Amino acid sequence: MSLHLEHLNPEQLAAVTLPDQHALILAGAGSGKTRVLTTRIAWLLKSGAVSPAGVLAVTFTNKAAREMLARLTAMLPVSPRGMWIGTFHGLCNRMLRAHHREAGLPQSFQILDTADQLAAVKRLLRGANVDEDRFPPKDMQYFFNARKEEGLRAGEVPVSDAIARRHVELYAAYDAQCQREGVADFAELLLRSYELLRNNEVLREHYASRFRHILVDEFQDTNRLQYRWIRLLAGTSARVFAVGDDDQSIYAFRGANVGNMAEFERDFGVQKVIRLEQNYRSHGNILDAANALIAHNRNRLGKNLWTATGEGERVRVYEGESDVEEARFLVEETQALAREGRRYADMAILYRSNAQSRVIEHALFGAGISYRVYGGLRFFERAEVKHALAYLRLAANADDDTAFLRVVNFPARGIGARTLENLQDAARARGASLHASIDALGGKAGGALAAFRALIGSMREQTRGLQLAETVEHVVARSGLVEHYRAERDGADRVENLSELVTAAAAFDVEEATAGLETGQGDVEAVPVDPLTAFLTHAALEAGEHQAGEGQDALQLMTVHSAKGLEFDAVFLTGLEEGLFPHEQSVMERDGLEEERRLAYVAITRARHRLYLSFAQTRMLHGQTRYNVPSRFFDEIPEGLTKWLTPRFAGRRRAAVPSFAPAQAAPKLKGFGRPEGAGGFRIGQNVTHNKFGAGVIVDAEGHGNDARVQVNFGRQGVKWLAVGVAKLQAA
């Protein structure tokens, strides 16, 4: 069968037909790397350079492995089944199954997925009488996995204090428990396989002589232990063909080490670095914007994407007065594209943080546009949001048994399944709700339930007379959900979503202020309801409507992280504001800003034909209006590549007062009687400073000439300045 080498461009052909040597292939976005990788394997087999049993190919997903096998089957006259093709975990599992005795595992060892592993950690902590408030199970799970990914057993982990010593003791106990039960978690598969090769010279030499060619996809996403495993497996005779893109390394939070690419080049003495720079996805202006942005990163291996399809349209930029206005623009523009004949499924709205989706979803809901949240749940369907809504439902109606069962022991308060069974029996016997039947149980279980009843009662009493957003904020805070999720290593997004629920309530209150709090449809007489009940009804309706069915044309919503590997005709990259994208935490982390820039690069290169960048002068976060400075990324993209749909940086030339919230149209400074109390300055006002440049006033304290204002100067940071001394002027 033909490998269709004539269809490859010169760089792709050079990579596919590379002689017997190590190689690093820098494959830019949309450059056909999967085709190159698969054709390289087929060329090696067809040319007789290696037999199927001598090839090992590593992918990062099972889907990619299946796709590679399918392509090879279509390209070759012989079956590729003798090859080892799979993910790191899949290949390590295969090796451990074949050598379970040498690895110290039973032949039928079982694999713990993430949920099973967490259950095992919880069981370990309970058995050791460990206080889960001091040592949260998810934190311990993260600690165990992180040490394994560093290649460290408990005896090799440095100990600096009593807390660290306890972590290490629990790590050792967890390892012993898994060994005793004959199970292995995902991180253990890789570490045990690495130790097997490291400690067994005979096996190491066997595999080093067997696998003549090792090919690794998405090399920029490998962690340190995965790279060390590859080095051991390669030995001194195998040839390693590494394919990746350092500009698309966005998984540092998962342990990915972009430095592995440069280390590979040094460690293996790579003589051939091939750059796949011709892009088959995007038009020229989109690629030029991506190239200009990523060029600001240091220590890149370097490449420049180009296309033969022409410049195409310029990048469209939109500045909204608020996040609500931004969402309205997204709705109108996607509808316009649909009228032109484009499918919603070929459009994607991308955001940096999951919490941003709530305002967008609300606008889509109102417009009747079906959408699908890719790689995640719609806002009101997320577990942490549903937990918070359950507490709110109980505050509104303590007899809501569904809400009661959802949160009576979340966060954990010592109320077990047997206690709930007894409570349900008592409720059935009385014909009453669970809440009303709590006094039927005595002892420790009854005491825990009574404490929960008191919590709900205090929520109800303490929120009387409060505004809706204040009620939501109070209930979320008292529920313990924020503290629970803050204690989790991966809980930051969940805490942001809880804050966004407060924002949702504030926005709902504003919307309902003019329309009136009513329910009813058609000719049915409207019935006034209280704000909390109206908001809960709104949340339930939005959770259940406009969910796109299988195969239905639907707009795609997702985080930038989820978008990697995908492509769309039209891409809307939203929320490009300092502190949001790039994220405020990135500025404080080593190389954090560079990873944010790589994230933006990934987002931009998802677009085939049309790219939109948008930001808002004001955004409601945590129930408060936030005044924004446009992202520094706008300054890193040449103006000639962009088409501004609104005046460029209009928000820097006028006070950014949210037009959608009448109650906040003239926000007061803390400690001031009126917004003009700080020498004429006010929150939201655009100002300039002779040293720090343009900024936005975000907070203030004090009085008169003794007042201080807090100004967000974008890349120069957020600074407190004395009004009477600072050379601050209105923009």
Report d(CA 211, CA 395) in Å as an integer. Answer: 64
Percentage helix, strand, coil for the chain under 3-state DSSP, each rounded to 5: 50, 15, 30
At 57, the pLDDT band (50, 70, 90 cuts) reads: very high
pLDDT(641) > 90: yes
Output phi, psi for 669, to 5 deg.
-80, 145
- pLDDT for the residue numbered 621: 73
In this prediction, residues 165-179 reach a mean pLDDT of 94
pLDDT(73) > 90: no
Task: Given the residues 117, 220, 222, 248, select the one marked as catalytic.
Answer: 248
- pLDDT for the residue numbered 656: 35
Please provide the size of the chain in residues: 731
- pLDDT for the residue numbered 544: 55
Tokens of 427: 């409720």
- pLDDT for the residue numbered 660: 28
Pairing of strands 272-276, 23-27: parallel
Task: Given the residues 34, 424, 467, 716, select the one marked as catalytic.
Answer: 34
Task: Spell out the SS3 assignment of 268-286.
Answer: CCCCEEEEECECCCCCHHH
Dihedral angle computed from the Cα positions of residues 324, 326, 332 and 336, in that order, rounded to the nearest 10 degrees: -170
Dihedral angle computed from the Cα positions of residues 533, 499, 326 and 720, in that order, rounded to the nearest 10 degrees: 140
pLDDT(492) > 50: yes
At 695, the pLDDT band (50, 70, 90 cuts) reads: confident
pLDDT(517) > 80: no
What does R_g of the chain's alpha carbons equal in angstroms?
A: 29
Report d(CA 456, CA 434) in Å as an integer. Answer: 13
Report d(CA 179, CA 428) in Å as an integer. Answer: 45
At 541, the pLDDT band (50, 70, 90 cuts) reads: low
Query: 360-399, pLDDT tens digit by residue?
Result: 999 998 899 999 888 777 788 888 999 999 999 899 888 8
- pLDDT for the residue numbered 156: 94
At 516, the pLDDT band (50, 70, 90 cuts) reads: very low
At 704, the pLDDT band (50, 70, 90 cuts) reads: low
In this prediction, residues 207-232 reach a mean pLDDT of 94
Pairing of strands 624-627, 347-351: unpaired
CA nearest 188: which of 109, 281, 102? 109
3-state secondary structure of 323: helix
Cα–Cα distances in angstroms (integers) from residue 218 to residues 111, 256, 501, 640, in the given order: 25, 11, 37, 33
pLDDT(20) > 60: yes
pLDDT(83) > 80: yes
Query: 417-439, pLDDT tens digit by residue?
Result: 888 989 999 988 988 889 999 98
Ramachandran quadrant class, 691 (left: phi over 0; alpha: psi -120 to 50; beta: rest): alpha
Task: Given the residues 40, 147, 358, 606, select the one marked as catalytic.
Answer: 606
Pairing of strands 347-351, 315-322: unpaired
Q: What is the DSSP letter of 131?
A: -
Task: Spell out the SS3 assignment of 150-164.
Answer: CCCCHHHCCCCCHHH
3-state secondary structure of 624: strand
Ramachandran quadrant class, 546 (left: phi over 0; alpha: psi -120 to 50; beta: rest): left
- pLDDT for the residue numbered 659: 29
What pairs with residue 518 in β-bridges? 528
pLDDT(94) > 80: yes
- pLDDT for the residue numbered 675: 39
Task: Given the residues 11, 188, 218, 509, select the one marked as catalytic.
Answer: 218
Q: What is the pTM of this model?
A: 0.78
Report d(CA 368, CA 655) in Å as an integer. Answer: 33
- pLDDT for the residue numbered 351: 96
3-state secondary structure of 105: coil
Contact between residue 731 and residue 688 where contact means Cβ atoms under 8 Å apart: yes
Pairing of strands 315-322, 642-644: parallel
Report d(CA 560, CA 158) in Å as an integer. Answer: 36
Output phi, psi for 55, to 5 deg.
-115, 135
Report d(CA 250, CA 258) in Å as an integer. Answer: 9
**Cα-Cα-Cα-Cα dihedral sign, residues 193, 197, 203, 208:** positive
Each residue of 228-261: b (16+ CB within 10 Å) or e? Answer: bbbbbbbbeebbbbbbbbbbbbbbbeebbbbebb
Question: What angle (nearest 5°) sits at the alpha carbon of residue 398, between those of residues 394 and 402?
Answer: 65
Report the share of the chain in percent with pLDDT over 90. Answer: 52
Tokens of 591: 């190389």
Report d(CA 602, CA 507) in Å as an integer. Answer: 32
pLDDT(347) > 70: yes
Contact between residue 361 and residue 546 where contact means Cβ atoms under 8 Å apart: no
Q: Is 33 a catalytic residue?
A: yes
Dihedral angle computed from the Cα positions of residues 633, 639, 642 and 645, in that order, rounded to the nearest 10 degrees: 90
Beta carbons within 10 angstroms of residue 592's beta carbon: 16
pLDDT(203) > 70: yes
Q: Is 218 a catalytic residue?
A: yes
Q: Is 606 a catalytic residue?
A: yes
Report d(CA 623, CA 664) in Å as an integer. Answer: 12
Report d(CA 215, CA 18) in Å as an integer. Answer: 13
Report d(CA 334, CA 612) in Å as an integer. Answer: 11
pLDDT(546) > 70: no
- pLDDT for the residue numbered 219: 95
The greatest distance separating any two alpha carbons of the chain, rounded to the nearest whole angstrom, comes to: 84
Q: Is 217 a catalytic residue?
A: yes
In this prediction, residues 308-315 reach a mean pLDDT of 96
Tokens of 516: 């009136």
Tokens of 251: 């998984």
Report d(CA 71, CA 208) in Å as an integer. Answer: 26
At 671, the pLDDT band (50, 70, 90 cuts) reads: very low
Report d(CA 584, CA 587) in Å as an integer. Answer: 6
Report d(CA 250, CA 591) in Å as an integer. Answer: 11
Query: 245-273, pLDDT tens digit by residue?
Result: 999 999 888 888 999 999 999 999 998 89
In this prediction, residues 196-220 reach a mean pLDDT of 94
Q: Which amino acid is at 237?
A: S
- pLDDT for the residue numbered 650: 62
- pLDDT for the residue numbered 528: 56
Contact between residue 319 and residue 616 where contact means Cβ atoms under 8 Å apart: yes
Report d(CA 287, CA 38) in Å as an integer. Answer: 25
pLDDT(522) > 90: no
Q: Which amino acid is at 397?
A: N
**Cα-Cα-Cα-Cα dihedral sign, residues 544, 550, 555, 556:** positive
Query: 397-422, pLDDT tens digit by residue?
Result: 888 888 899 899 999 888 888 889 89
Task: Given the residues 139, 217, 321, 596, select the one marked as catalytic.
Answer: 217
